[in-house]
Amino acid sequence: MRITVRLAVSLVLAAAGVSSAWTYSQARRERRLLTQELDRRGTILTETLRELAVPLAARGDDAGLARMAGRLARREKPRAVAIFGKDGRAAASAGALDGLLAPPPTADPEPRCAASAGPPAARVCTAPLPDGGAVSVVYDAAPIDARVRELWTHGFWRLLVQSLLIVAITLWIVRWDLLAPLDQMAAWMRQLSAEGPASAPPTSTLLRPLASEAVRLAKRLGEARAAAEEEARLRHQGQSTWTAERLKEHARDRLQGRPIFVVANREPYLHVRRGGKIEVLQPASGLVTGVEPILRACGGTWVAHGAGDADREVVDALDRVRVPPEEPLYELKRVWLTKEEEDGYYFGFSNEGLWPLCHIAHARPSFRAEDWRQYQAANRKFAEALLSEIEGVPEPAVLIQDYHFALLPRMIKEARPDARVSLFWHIPWPNPEAFGICPWQRDILDGMLGADVLGFHIQNHCNNFLETVDRTLESRIDWERFSVRRAGHETLVRPYPISVAPSEATGKPPSKADLLKEAGATGSIVALGVDRIDYTKGIAERLLAVERFLEKNPAYLGRFVFVELGAPSRTTIPRYRELGEEVAREADRINARFGTRSWKPVVLQIGQHARREVERWYRAADVCLVTSLHDGMNLVAKEFVASAREEPGVLILSRFTGAARELRDALIVNPYDIERTAGALLEAVEMEPAERERRWSSMREVIREHNIYRWGARLIDDLARVRPGSASSAPQAEAR
| Helix 180-193 × helix 208-237 angle, to 10° | 0
pTM over 0.75: no
- Residue 80 near residue 139, CB atoms below 8 Å: no
Q: Which of 151, 153, 171 is nearest to 163 (CA)?
A: 171
Task: Return the biggest CA–CA distance within the chain.
Answer: 144
Read off the DSSP letter of residue 716. H
Burial (CB count within 10 angstroms: exposed 0-12, middle 13-18, buried 19+), residue 735:
exposed
Residues 565-590: pLDDT tens digits? 999 888 888 888 999 999 999 999 99
Q: How far is CA 486 from CA 111, 405, 435, 464, 730, in A?
A: 114, 19, 20, 18, 12
Residue 696 confidence class, pLDDT cut points 50, 70, 90? very high
- In single-letter form, the type of residue at position 463 comes to N
**Contact indicator for 495, 455 with CB cutoff of 8 Å:** yes
Strand spans (E) along 291-352 = 301-305, 320-323, 330-335
Which one has a higher pLDDT value, 218 or 31?
Answer: 31
> Please, which residues have CB within 8 angstroms of residue 261's CB and are 6 or more apart in sequence?
300, 301, 302, 303, 386, 389, 390, 396, 397, 398, 399
Structural domains of the chain, ranges and CATH numbers in brackets: 30-145 (3.30.450.20), 257-495 (3.40.50.2000), 512-706 (3.40.50.2000)
- Residues sharing a CB contact under 8 Å with residue 130, sequence separation 6 or more, in sequence order: 54
Local confidence band at 204 (pLDDT 50, 70, 90 cut-offs): low
Instruction: Examine the pLDDT at 729 and tell me if it is beyond 60.
Output: no
How many other C-beta atoms lie within 10 A of the C-beta of residue 248? 17
User: Could you read off the pLDDT of 321-360 as tens digits, one per residue?
Assistant: 999 998 899 999 999 999 999 999 999 999 999 999 999 8
Tally of CB atoms within 10 A around 339: 7
pLDDT tens for 402-427 read 999 999 999 999 999 999 999 999 99
CB neighbours (10 Å) of residue 662? Answer: 22
pLDDT in tens, 478-524: 999 999 999 899 999 999 999 998 887 777 888 899 999 999 999 99
Using an 8 Å Cβ cutoff, are 371 and 344 in contact? yes
Identify the helix (H) or strand (E) that includes residue 709: helix 708-720
How far apart CA 362 and CA 356 sit, in angstroms, is: 7
DSSP conformation letters of 179-211: IHHHHHHHHHHHHHHTTPPP-PPP--TTTHHHH
C-alpha to C-alpha distance for 532 and 534, rounded to whole angstroms: 6
SS3 (DSSP) at 507: coil
Q: Whole-angstrom Cα distance, residue 117 to residue 100?
A: 7
Better-predicted residue by pLDDT, 80 or 329: 329
Average confidence score pLDDT of the chain: 87
pLDDT band at residue 236 using 50, 70 and 90 as cut-offs: very low
Chain mean position to CA 628:
33
Residue, of 330 and 134, whose pLDDT is higher: 330
d(CA 356, CA 570): 13
